[in-house]
Amino acid sequence: MPTASINNTKIEYTDTGIEHASPVIFIHGFPFNHTMWKEQTELLADTHRVITYDVRGHGKSELGNGHVLIDFLVDDLFAFMEHLGIQAANVVGLSMGGYIALRGIERTPERFLSLVLANTKSEADTNEAKTKRADAIRTIQNDGVETFAENFLKTVFAPESFDKHPQDIRKVRKMIEQTSPQSLCSTLIALAARTDTTESLGKINVPALILVGEHDQLTPPAAAQSMANRIRDSHIHIIPDAAHMSNLENPEEFNTQLRDFFE
């Protein structure tokens, strides 16, 4: 994998597909890495320039100075685009990736050609959600990453996915367990501290696709519908038989929506 030095931090990425075609940048969720997009990368490689990267502190990317806010992750995204010579891109973000994309388009809309928001929402954390983030940090510090991973998997996958997609469950468990405790805790604080981007949704003027798993408890269909109601040129699709990891739980449906959108 190639490496870029972004804001004094080593970021690992992939850059495949057609070099001069319209670029699509995939941003993974917390606490995963770029490999969660394998099927989607293969899907678009024949028609687009496809880029994935490990967000700082995830996968093989460094954590840097350990200070993480969503705004700093947006800084990384824009610096990364400059490193690749990309002025504007189609951006696909799942969960945390969606938070980065939404804050990015709020700050610098001209960087975006289109937007795919998967299993994400514009609202900031409620007090209850912030408390849960604090509980998760305590679990990591007191009981270890393996216990955190076990708990986290139950919140992001639908119960039936444990029988239907055991390989994906194992893959995601490994992603989480290979993330350092410091990266996990720093990013959890960033997620709890993120800004609310709801007010800026009405200013989005690029095509947008909103995808959400029908069983998603973390960013439920109602939150997705709320975004769709505010973004003018948007289309929403609820992915059946999926919770928060809709691109892994129902890749056929997810990929159909993605392909149709980019066509």
Looking up tokens 């997705």 gives: 224
Predicted local distance difference test score (pLDDT) of residue 11:
98
Predicted local distance difference test score (pLDDT) of residue 56:
98
Instruction: Delimit the domains of the chain by residue range.
Output: 3-262
Q: Which two tokens stand for residue 165?
A: 């997609």
Predicted local distance difference test score (pLDDT) of residue 15:
98
Residues (pLDDT < 70) of the chain are none
Predicted local distance difference test score (pLDDT) of residue 247:
98
Q: Are 54 and 34 in contact (CB under 8 A)?
A: yes
Dihedral sign, Cα of residue 117, residue 156, residue 10, residue 19:
negative
Predicted local distance difference test score (pLDDT) of residue 41:
97
pLDDT tens readout for residues 111-161? 999 999 999 999 999 999 999 999 999 999 999 999 999 999 999 999 999
pLDDT tens readout for residues 185-209? 999 999 999 999 999 999 999 999 9
CATH of domain 3-262: 3.40.50.1820
Q: Are 51 and 26 in contact (CB under 8 A)?
A: yes
Angle between helices 70-83 and 181-192 (to 10 degrees): 110
Dihedral sign, Cα of residue 259, residue 250, residue 122, residue 12:
negative
Predicted local distance difference test score (pLDDT) of residue 198:
98
Predicted local distance difference test score (pLDDT) of residue 196:
98
Residue 159 backbone dihedrals phi, psi, to 5 degrees: -50, -40
Predicted local distance difference test score (pLDDT) of residue 174:
98
* pTM over 0.75, yes/no: yes
The one-letter code for the residue type at 218 is L
